[in-house]
Homo-oligomer: A and B are copies of this chain.
Amino acid sequence: MAAWGERLAGVRGVLLDITGVLYDGGEGGGAPIAGSVEALARLKRSQLKVRFCTNESQKSRGDLVGMLRRLGFDISEGEVTAPAPATCLILKERGLRPHLLIHDGVRSEFDQIDTSNPNCVVIADAGEGFSYQNMNKAFQVLMELENPVLFSLGKGIHSFFFVARTLRRYYKETSGLMLDVGPYTKALEYACGIEAEVVGKPSPEFFKSALREMGVEAHQAIMIGDDIVGDVSGAQQCGMRALQVRTGKFRSSNEGFLGFRGSLRPKGVRETPLETSSAFSPGGQSGNPRSPAPASPEAAEPWDLARFG
């Protein structure tokens, strides 16, 4: 697999999705995906620039980073590109006062934003907050506006929900796909005859802001995520290379996914970012962090990047 080195030629920066790549969420805070703490540590010891590009919109950046650090990840708040702070910048620039249909966990990001007499709506992954009453309120606010403006923090279709609970010494596992912000955004778009402005992946503007903050051009960067649309297709359309991991919301049916018009063959991708970073820096903990070597045949073998954009 000599081609492996060529495929990563010129890569100077790595954008990492968080949920489903570094850790799996769930009640009680979630757990690291096996190998990902070490993978990130190795990536950070390489010469590659690393930045985190997430659509997380149920938690503030502070809470997210605090949780990840407790799980052992080497991450700081300034390294994270996230929809809520990006939206606050836009609201301030345009003098907009939002009605917020968001999760309480992310509300603190909007502390400095005037929400009186709203002239736009911000919708994020509100989870249980997507009640009929709350959706109706957002709908009514939009319908009262002469020029309704709707911001959607990402346009995710679903998230993968996993809970392991100890109950009388038994583990009860509840797992399944859960509706994300995208379908609810579609509902309001249809109800009001408008189109939302998406702040988050797969919006090109969002990827570009992450690249700017990392100081790397699109053709020099690779995005690693679990979402075939939000991460892989979105990054490719932005001129970046992209990898899908087999963890998180990855499903084998992604290969025939309706919404994806890409040329990726997900069957070839790796299961954890651990292997990802070993491809960049095969020496692992004993490798020379200053000279990222070409990938070893062993590391490259399971990948199938032949059709990556």
Binding site for B on A (CB under 8 A): 126-133, 135-136, 139-140, 143, 157-158, 176-179, 182-184, 186-191, 193, 257-259
Contacts and interface: CB of A to CB of B under 8 A. Distances in A.
A183 B126 CA distance: 17
Nearest to A251: B143
A139 B177 contact: yes
A139 B191 CA distance: 20
Given A140-B177, A179-B187, 11 more contacts: A126-B132, A129-B132, A140-B176, A157-B190, A157-B191, A182-B190, A183-B186, A183-B188, A186-B187, A186-B190, A187-B187
Contacts of A188: 183
Contacts of A184: 187
Contacts of A193: 257-259
Contact of A130 (B128, B132, B177): B132
A184 to B, nearest CB: 6
A260 to B, nearest CB: 9
A191 B187 contact: no
A191 B193 CA distance: 19
Contacts of A259: 193
A191 to B, nearest CB: 4
A239 B182 CA distance: 36
Nearest to A135: B179
Contacts of A128: 132-133
A166 B188 CA distance: 33
A177 B143 contact: yes
